[in-house]
Amino acid sequence: MRRFAFLLPMLLAATAWAGEPRGTGDLGIVVERAAGRVQVVDTTGRARLATVPDLGDLSHASAVFSRDGRFAYVFGRDGGLTKVDLLEARVVRRIVQAGNSIGGAISQDGRLVAVSNYEPGGVRVFDAGTLDPVADIPTPGSKVVGLVDAPGQRFVFSLFEAGDIWLADLTDPKRPAVTRWTGVGRQPYDALITPDGRFYLAGLFGEDGMALVDLWYPEQGVRRILAGYGRGEAPLPVYKMPHLEGWAFAGRRAFVPAVGRHEILVMDRDTWTEVGRVPVQGQPVFAVGRPDGRQVWVNFAPPDNGTVQVIDTETMAVVKTLAPGPGVLHLEFTPKGEAVWLSVRDADRVDVLDTRTFEPLARLPADKPSGLFFTARAHRIGQ
Partner 1 sequence: MGQALILIALLVVAGHAVAEPIAPTRQQALLHLLKQDCGSCHGLTLKGGLGPPLLPRTLAGKDADALAAVILDGAPGTPMPPWRPFLSPEEARWLVDRLREGVP
Interface residue with partner 1 among 62, 158, 187, 334 (CB under 8 A) is: 187
Site for partner 1 contains 349 (CB under 8 A): no
Site for partner 1 contains 169 (CB under 8 A): no
- Least Å distance, CB 302 to partner 1, is 5
Q: Which stretch binds partner 1 (CB under 8 A): 18-26, 41-49, 52-60, 193-201?
A: 52-60
> By CB under 8 A, how many residues form the interface with partner 1?
29
Interface residue with partner 1 among 60, 124, 262, 290 (CB under 8 A) is: 60
**Cα(347)–Cα(341) distance, rounded to whole angstroms?**
14
Site for partner 1 contains 100 (CB under 8 A): yes
Q: Judge whether 204 and 188 are in contact, CB under 8 Å.
A: yes
**Cα(290)–Cα(271) distance, rounded to whole angstroms?**
23
Site for partner 1 contains 316 (CB under 8 A): no
Cβ closest to partner 1, residue 209 vs residue 327: 327
- Least Å distance, CB 119 to partner 1, is 7
- Least Å distance, CB 243 to partner 1, is 11
Site for partner 1 contains 286 (CB under 8 A): no
Cβ closest to partner 1, residue 28 vs residue 242: 242
Burial of 35 (C-beta count, 10 Å sphere; 0-12/13-18/19+): middle
Site for partner 1 contains 330 (CB under 8 A): no
Site for partner 1 contains 345 (CB under 8 A): yes
**Cα(328)–Cα(349) distance, rounded to whole angstroms?**
10
- Least Å distance, CB 363 to partner 1, is 21
**Cα(262)–Cα(267) distance, rounded to whole angstroms?**
16
Q: Which stretch binds partner 1 (CB under 8 A): 104-112, 123-131, 238-246, 334-342?
A: 238-246
Phi-psi region of 26 (alpha: psi -120 to 50; beta: other; left: phi over 0): alpha
Binding site for partner 1 (CB under 8 A): 33-34, 57-60, 77-78, 100, 102, 118-119, 143, 145, 160, 187, 189, 205-206, 237-241, 302-303, 327, 345-346
